[in-house]
């Protein structure tokens, strides 16, 4: 996990535990920007070139090195199949969707609590 992944996880986690009221849109915008940066880094053509060089070198890799190359190739191939815009929009919608869900659950809780105290 790289630094952008760690930062993204921290930002998204803060939505779940300590996001100030009415700041969901700002956090969604931050996650969208960070997701675009992360996508650019993970789909850098130089990564594909380096993977190709390693895979075609004929060099015998140890078990762990071979597994790392295989996972890096899988992740790279997956990431280059989607556009930066899609990665950004996915992060934005995930964030705004979660904030909306939490807000709706809170509203339902308040409504149910209010009804039960009247009875």
Give tens-digit pLDDT for 80-97. Answer: 999 999 999 999 998 888
Check residues 103 and 15 and name the one with the higher pLDDT: 103
DSSP category for residue 44:
-
pLDDT at 77 over 80: yes
Confidence grade of residue 24 (pLDDT, cut at 50, 70, 90): confident
Write the CB contacts of 109 (distance below 8 Å, at least 6 apart in sequence): none
Residue 54 tokens read as: 């390693």
Give tens-digit pLDDT for 54-65. Answer: 999 988 999 999
d(CA 36, CA 43): 11
Q: Where in the chain are the domains?
A: 3-118
pTM (whole model) above 0.95 = no
Per-residue pLDDT, averaged over 46-72, amounts to: 95
pLDDT for 7 equals: 63
φ, ψ (nearest 5 deg) of residue 44: -55, 125
d(CA 94, CA 87): 11
């Amino acid at each position: 996990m790289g630094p952008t992944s760690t930062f993204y996880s921290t930002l998204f986690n803060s939505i779940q535990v300590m996001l100030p009221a009415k700041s969901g849109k700002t956090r969604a915008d931050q996650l969208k920007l960070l997701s675009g940066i992360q996508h650019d880094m993970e789909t850098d053509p130089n990564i594909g070139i380096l993977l190709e060089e390693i895979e075609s070198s004929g060099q015998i890799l140890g078990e762990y090195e071979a597994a790392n190359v295989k996972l890096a190739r899988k992740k790279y191939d997956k990431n280059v199949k989607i556009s930066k815009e899609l990665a950004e929009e996915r992060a934005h919608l995930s964030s705004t969707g979660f904030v909306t869900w939490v807000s709706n659950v809170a509203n339902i809780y308040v409504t149910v609590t209010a009804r039960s105290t009247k009875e």
